[in-house]
């Protein structure tokens, strides 16, 4: 029998050097797996207001094309999908 990982989100302020400061740490079974930051700078255009994967660990490694999500729920679903092995 396989159990779903326990996901927790912890709000945090991230020192990005820009208006993009609202962040969230994502833990899976008490291990840090990702850091998401809400894009607030007007320079982000269409992406403004989305949650960007700022840092990821293990199967969540960041790249120049790291994903951005409309909501934290969508970001959390992405994390769970990665943990379950579906990309």
| Structural domain boundaries enclosing 21 | 7-83
Q: How far apart are CA 18 and CA 50, in angstroms?
A: 15
Residues in the chain, pLDDT under 70: 1-4, 62-64, 86-87
Convert the pLDDT of each residue in 57-71 to its tens digit: 877 776 667 789 999
Total domains, the chain? 1
β 7-13/51-56 pair status: unpaired
45 part of a folded domain: yes
Judge whether 1 lies within some domain: no
Percent of the chain residues past pLDDT 90, beyond the cut: 53
Is residue 2 in some structural domain? no
Please check whether residue 11 lies inside any domain of the structure.
yes
Radius of gyration of the chain (CA): 13
60 falls within a domain: yes
Does any domain span residue 17? yes
Model's pTM, two decimal places? 0.85
Whether 69 is covered by a domain: the verdict is yes
């Amino acid at each position: 029998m396989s159990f779903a990982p326990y996901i927790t989100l912890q709000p945090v302020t991230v020192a990005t050097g820009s208006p993009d400061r609202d962040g969230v740490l994502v833990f899976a079974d008490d291990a840090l797996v990702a850091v998401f930051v809400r894009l607030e700078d007007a320079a982000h255009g269409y992406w403004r207001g989305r949650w960007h994967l700022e840092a990821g660990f293990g199967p969540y490694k960041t790249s120049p094309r790291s994903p951005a999500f409309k909501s934290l729920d969508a970001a959390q679903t992405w994390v769970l999908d990665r943990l379950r092995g579906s990309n």
